Amino acid sequence: MWVNLLNKQLEKITELEKTFLKSEFEGQVDELTMITPSKVEVCTKCSLKFTVLRRREQCKKCKRMFCKKCASNKILLLNISNSPVRICDECYNKIYKL
């Protein structure tokens, strides 16, 4: 019984990902385009300057650069990796409609 529940949840997550893949971010940044982290000086969301202690994190969904606080979520995106990847709060909220 619990296996069936897990399978249903996995199906829901997969459907959410498919929907999100066709979202407003699609086409804005080419999948192959990599933003050179060293060229981004501030967090996209909070505008705090990156330092030795405040590292750059790239959202694997929208490809923008954030500080760890603004990209604190990890989620399984099967089209990118078999393990959870870091995404920004905005992408996370769009996926889960928070």
**The pLDDT of residue 96:** 83
Q: What is the mean pLDDT of each run of 10 residues along the chain (98 residues)?
A: 71 63 50 62 92 90 91 86 89 83
> What is the domain count for the chain?
1
**Residue 72's domain spans which residues?**
2-96
**The pLDDT of residue 32:** 42
Phi, psi of 87 (to 5 degrees): -135, 155
CATH assignment of the domain containing 64: 3.30.40.10
Residue 66 has, within 13 A of its CA and on its CB side, a CA count of 21
**The pLDDT of residue 82:** 85
**The pLDDT of residue 97:** 77
**The pLDDT of residue 37:** 65
57 DSSP 8-state letter = E
Residue among 73, 60, 62, 77 nearest 13 (CA) = 77
